[in-house]
C-alpha cells in the first residue's frame, strides 16, 4: 500500500502542468500558410459558403451569414487552431473543449491563433453572439498545422427551430438599463444567452434561430413597417432575398413560432389594412400558408405557437377574435398535414419577468425563466421528439 501511494505521488509530481492557452491576433493575415489543413465544419444556421483561392489551403471557404444564432463546430488532434475572419461588426464567442469562453468582439479582417491547448483531441465551437441589423458577417474557417489531424463532428439527433422577433434574438438582454442607444443595443444583444439557445442546449439539440428584431409575420413594428415580414424573409439566406435557403439535413422535430409584432400599434392611414380586423384576417391566412411551407420542409415537426391566455384578453370581443384565429390556424395546420400543433401560453411566468433589458426586453434572468417555462412545456409532451 505504501509503495502504491509513493508511486502515485511520483506520477503527480512528474505529470506535465496544464497547458496555458494563448490567444493572439494577426491583422496581417499571414498566419495561415498553404501547407496547413482546413478543418471540416459542422455549420448550423443560414450560411452561404464560398470557396477561397490560394494562398489559403485547398478547401478553404468563407461562411457568410446574416440571420442570428449561427454557429460553427470542428474537432482535431493537435495543440493549436487558427480562425480567419472578415467581420468588423459582430461579436463571437469561442468555446474550446470545456475551457472558459473566449470573447471575440468585432474581430475585423484578421486571423486569431489559439495555442497552448496540449497535443490531444479538441472540440471548438464558434458562436455568433450579436444580431446583424442588416450587416453580413464572414467567418472563413478553422485551420491547423499540416501534422495535426482533422476530425469530423457527429451530427446531433435532435433539431429545434425558433421563428419570431426580438424576444428570440436576445435583444439588449445584457443591458443594465432600458434606454439604450443603437450602439449600446448592438453590444448588449446576446442570442446565445437568449431562451431559444438555452432550451436547445438543455436538450443537446442543434438549433436555428430564424428571428429578426421588430419583424412580425406580415407586419413589422413602426420603425421598419415598410420592410418585408418574416414570412417573406424566411425562404432566404439573406434579408435582401437574393439567395434562396435550402438544407436537406435540416429537419427539426420542433418548431416554435412567436408572431405578435404584427399587432404592435394601431393600423394607420396608408397601410394595407384599414383596421385590426382586416390585419388579423390576412395574418391568419398568412399563418396557414407559412405553416404549410414549414411542414413541407420538415414534415415530422411539431409546431408550437406562442399564444396569449385568452381569458386575459380584453375587451371580450377582441378575445373572441383570437379564439377564432387560433381555431382557424389549427385547422389550416391539420389540413396541411401537421400531426401536432400546440398553443403554449407563458401566462404563469409573465409576472416574474423583470424586463430591464434595452427597450424593456428580457434580461438574462428573464431569458432563463422563459427557457425553463418552455422546457417544462416540451417535457410534458410525450413523444414530441419522435414526431408524435
Rounded to 5°, the CA angle 283-67-94 comes to 145
Provide the 8-state DSSP code for 172.
T
Alpha-carbon distance 222 to 354, whole Å? 24
User: DSSP characters for 244-303?
Assistant: B---TT---SEEEE---GGGSS---TTSS-SSHHHHHHHHHHHHHHHHHHHHHH-TT-EE
Exposed/middle/buried for residue 277 (C-beta within 10 Å: 0-12, 13-18, 19+) = exposed
DSSP 11: H
CB contact set of 11 (below 8 Å; sequence gap of 6+): none
Q: Before 7, cis peptide (omega within 30)?
A: no
Q: Of 141, 116, 90, 132, which Cα lies nearest the Cα of 24?
A: 116
Q: Count how many residues are written for the chain.
A: 388
Question: Which triple of cell numbers denotes residue 303?
Answer: 409546431
For 227, the grid coordinates are 420592410
DSSP state of 324: H
- Catalytic site residue 166? yes
Q: What's the DSSP call for residue 386?
A: G
Grid coordinates of 370: 422563459
Catalytic residue among 130, 132, 166, 213: 166
Cβ neighbours around 186 below 10 Å, total: 21
- For the annotated catalytic residues, the residue numbers are 166
Amino acid at each position: 500500500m505504501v509503495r502504491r501511494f509513493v508511486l502515485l505521488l511520483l506520477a503527480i509530481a512528474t505529470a506535465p502542468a496544464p497547458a496555458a492557452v494563448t490567444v493572439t491576433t494577426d491583422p496581417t493575415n499571414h498566419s495561415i500558410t498553404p501547407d496547413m489543413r482546413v478543418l471540416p465544419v459542422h455549420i448550423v444556421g443560414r450560411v452561404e459558403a464560398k470557396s477561397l483561392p490560394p494562398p489559403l489551403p485547398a478547401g478553404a471557404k468563407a461562411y457568410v451569414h446574416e440571420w442570428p444564432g449561427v454557429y460553427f463546430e470542428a474537432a482535431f488532434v493537435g495543440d493549436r487552431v487558427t480562425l480567419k475572419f472578415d467581420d468588423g461588426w459582430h461579436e463571437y464567442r469561442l468555446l474550446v473543449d470545456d475551457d472558459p469562453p473566449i470573447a471575440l468582439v468585432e474581430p475585423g479582417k484578421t486571423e486569431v491563433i489559439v495555442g497552448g491547448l496540449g497535443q490531444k483531441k479538441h472540440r471548438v465551437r464558434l458562436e455568433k453572439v450579436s444580431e446583424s441589423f442588416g450587416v453580413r458577417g464572414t467567418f472563413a474557417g478553422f485551420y491547423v498545422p499540416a501534422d495535426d489531424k482533422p476530425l469530423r463532428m457527429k451530427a446531433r439527433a435532435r433539431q429545434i427551430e425558433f421563428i419570431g422577433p426580438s424576444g428570440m434574438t436576445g435583444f439588449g438582454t445584457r443591458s443594465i438599463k432600458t434606454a439604450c442607444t443603437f450602439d449600446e443595443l448592438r453590444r448588449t444583444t446576446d442570442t446565445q444567452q437568449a431562451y431559444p439557445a438555452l432550451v436547445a442546449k438543455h436538450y443537446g439539440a442543434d438549433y436555428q434561430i430564424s428571428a429578426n428584431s421588430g419583424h412580425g409575420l406580415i407586419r413589422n413594428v413602426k420603425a421598419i413597417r415598410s420592410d418585408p415580414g418574416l414570412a417573406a424573409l424566411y425562404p432566404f439566406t439573406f434579408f435582401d432575398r437574393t439567395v434562396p435557403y435550402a438544407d436537406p439535413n435540416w429537419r427539426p422535430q420542433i418548431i416554435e413560432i412567436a408572431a405578435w409584432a404584427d399587432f404592435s400599434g394601431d393600423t394607420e392611414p396608408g397601410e394595407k389594412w384599414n383596421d385590426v380586423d382586416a390585419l388579423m384576417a390576412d395574418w391568419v391566412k398568412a399563418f396557414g400558408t407559412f405553416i404549410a411551407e414549414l411542414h413541407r420542409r420538415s414534415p415530422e415537426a411539431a409546431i408550437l405557437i406562442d399564444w396569449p391566455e385568452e381569458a386575459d384578453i380584453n375587451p371580450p370581443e377582441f378575445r373572441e377574435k383570437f379564439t377564432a384565429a387560433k381555431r382557424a390556424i389549427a385547422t389550416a395546420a391539420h389540413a396541411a398535414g401537421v400531426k401536432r400543433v400546440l398553443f403554449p401560453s407563458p401566462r404563469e411566468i409573465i409576472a416574474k419577468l423583470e424586463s430591464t433589458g434595452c427597450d424593456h426586453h428580457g434580461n438574462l434572468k428573464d431569458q432563463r425563466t422563459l427557457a425553463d417555462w418552455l422546457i417544462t412545456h416540451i417535457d410534458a409532451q410525450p413523444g414530441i421528439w419522435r414526431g408524435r
